[in-house]
């Protein structure tokens, strides 16, 4: 099985154990897909959706507990990606829908993950570190 997006310590490690664990779990699920199987892509997309709900809940709990100043923007980004995932999963019943889910999975999702981690999540960790957690 091809590794699609491995956890890269230099790129993905934020040095905050709880969030680093969640990000590694996300990539482990993401990489466990068989990209040649529509069923595998759909199953792994559903698994990522469930993981992301838990993952985002944990991040948002930290944001609320430690008065993260841009909580609204960060939560909005979480809602947006969950809605996208739900949309592509829900519409994967046709051949076209399966192709769209595969494109989303292989192209958009990893781009979003990296950008979100390097911008919003790294900012959250910076804030948390300043709170001396």
Q: Say which residue, 13 or 80, is predicted with more confidence.
A: 80
What confidence tens digit (pLDDT) does each residue in 17-26 have?
A: 999 999 999 9
Among 3-7, 53-57, 117-121, the least confident range: 3-7
Is pLDDT at 131 greater than 60 in this prediction?
A: yes
Q: What sign results for the dihedral spanned by CA atoms 7, 115, 123, 81? A: negative
Q: What is the mean pLDDT of residues 51-71?
A: 97
Q: pTM, whole model, 2 decimals?
A: 0.91
Confidence of residue 2 (pLDDT cuts 50, 70, 90): very low
- Express each pLDDT in 70-101 by its tens digit: 999 999 999 999 999 999 999 999 999 999 99
Residue owning tokens 């698994």: 47
Distance CA 29, CA 86 (A): 17
Q: How far apart are CA 106 and CA 99, in angstroms?
A: 11
């Amino acid at each position: 099985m091809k590794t699609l997006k491995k956890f890269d310590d230099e790129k993905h490690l934020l040095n905050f154990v709880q969030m680093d664990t969640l990000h590694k779990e996300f990539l482990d699920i993401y990489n466990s897909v068989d990209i040649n199987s529509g069923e595998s892509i759909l199953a792994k997309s559903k698994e990522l959706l469930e993981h992301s709900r838990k993952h985002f809940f944990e991040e948002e709990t930290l944001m609320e507990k430690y008065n993260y100043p841009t909580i609204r923007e960060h939560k909005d980004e979480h809602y947006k990606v969950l809605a996208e995932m739900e949309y592509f999963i829900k519409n994967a019943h046709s051949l076209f829908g399966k192709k769209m889910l595969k494109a989303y999975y292989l192209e958009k999702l990893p781009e979003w993950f990296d950008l979100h981690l390097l911008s919003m999540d790294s900012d959250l960790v910076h804030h948390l570190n300043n709170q001396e957690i």
